[in-house]
Amino acid sequence: MSGGTVRSLGKGSAPPGPVPEGLIRVYSMRFCPFAKRTLLVLTAKGIRHEVININLKNKPEWFFKKNPLGLVPVLETSLGQLICESAITCEYLDEAYPGKKLWPSDPYEKACQRMIFESFSKVPSLMVSFLRMQNKEDCSGLKEELHKEFSKLEEVLTNKKTTFFGGSSLSMIDYLIWPWFEWLEALELNEYLEHTPNLKLWMASMKKDPTVSSLPTDVKTLQGFFNLYMQNSPEACDYGL
């Protein structure tokens, strides 16, 4: 069902056909944290889907018809409707499909989760900057910023006195921010969790979640991917296959 281990499609590949009825398609990349959000929601809600992985270092020309920006994730329905932007895809799936709602139904609770999401928004670019740093000595400024962002999240959890960011069970906000925490170990940033015990506990709880554990990212494989991706290698996206 997931096809998450399929080789990516690159330049010169044939465009895929229409999406079969009863399925939704996600254009993804095995190591993309933004696309991971969409995969987590698809899996958590038990939505039948197919995955087409895109070689982000050698993008197929047809992919720009799916998203002019050429970014993953993109959802495509059997009606040919296209939805871009990871957070928008996640909200779409939550609304369009039955089953457990991942966004809370209470408007204030939902607003709170969205405010946490907004608060988290600096983390992805910080992590990418960290990844790009060749000279590890210059990292101290970045590390301080990252530490600040993690402390903010720690405060939220401490104030809420719950395991997860939305309460005692996993909800949308947890899935939306999770993929970057998967990177911490691979980027050797685990030390930052020493000052944030609640965040550490949250990570341990996340790893036990059936959805999260069904979509694991192996540290060594991720590091192999980072290495090739930073060199702009067209082999990066298929590392480990």
> By C-beta, is 13 or 38 nearer to a second copy?
38
Residue 77, interface with a second copy (CB under 8 A)? yes
3-class secondary-structure state, position 42 = helix
Buried b (16+ CB within 10 A) or exposed e, 214-226: ebebeeebbebbb
Q: Is 84 in the site for a second copy (CB under 8 A)?
A: yes
Q: Which of 1, 96, 128, 201 forms a contact with a second copy (CB under 8 A)?
A: 96
* Residues 43, 33: Cα–Cα separation, whole Å: 15
Segment interacting with a second copy (CB under 8 A) among 29-37, 113-121, 136-144, 223-231: 113-121
* Residue ranges in 140-199 that form contacts with a second copy under rule CB under 8 A: none
CA distance 17 to 23: 13
Q: Quote the least distance from Cβ 104 to a second copy, whole Å.
A: 11
Cβ within 8 Å of residue 166, ≥6 positions away: 104, 109, 113, 172, 173, 174
Residue 24, class by beta-carbon neighbours within 10 Å (0-12 exposed, 13-18 middle, 19+ buried)? buried
Asked if 111 is part of the footprint of a second copy (rule: CB under 8 A), the reply reads yes
Peptide bond into 216 cis (omega under 30): no
The residue among 154, 144, 159, 149 whose CA lies nearest residue 202 is: 154
Of 12 and 107, the one with the shorter C-beta distance to a second copy is 107
* Beta pairing class for 24-28 and 49-53: parallel
Identify which of residues 76 and 209 has a Cβ nearer to a second copy in the complex: 76
List the catalytic residue out of 32, 84, 112, 139: 32
Contact between 3 and 51 under an 8 Å Cβ cutoff? The reply is: yes
Structure-token pair, residue 112: 């709170």
Which one among 110, 122, 147, 200 touches a second copy, defined by CB under 8 A?
110
In the complex, minimum distance from the CB of residue 147 to a second copy, in angstroms, rounded to a whole number:
17
Q: Does 118 bind a second copy (CB under 8 A)?
A: yes
Binding test (CB under 8 A) with a second copy, winner from 50, 85, 145, 185: 85
User: Residue 217 interacts with a second copy (CB under 8 A)?
Assistant: no
Mark whether 237 is an active-site residue.
no
Query: Which is nearer to a second copy, 90 or 186 (by Cβ)?
Result: 90
At a CB cut-off of 8 Å and minimum separation 6, what does 237 contact?
8, 29, 30, 31, 53, 54, 55, 56, 57, 225, 229
Of 106 and 137, the one with the shorter C-beta distance to a second copy is 106
95 binds a second copy (CB under 8 A): yes
User: What is the set of active-site residues?
Assistant: 32
| Contacting positions for a second copy (CB under 8 A) | 77, 81, 83-85, 88-89, 91-92, 95-96, 107-108, 110-111, 114-115, 118
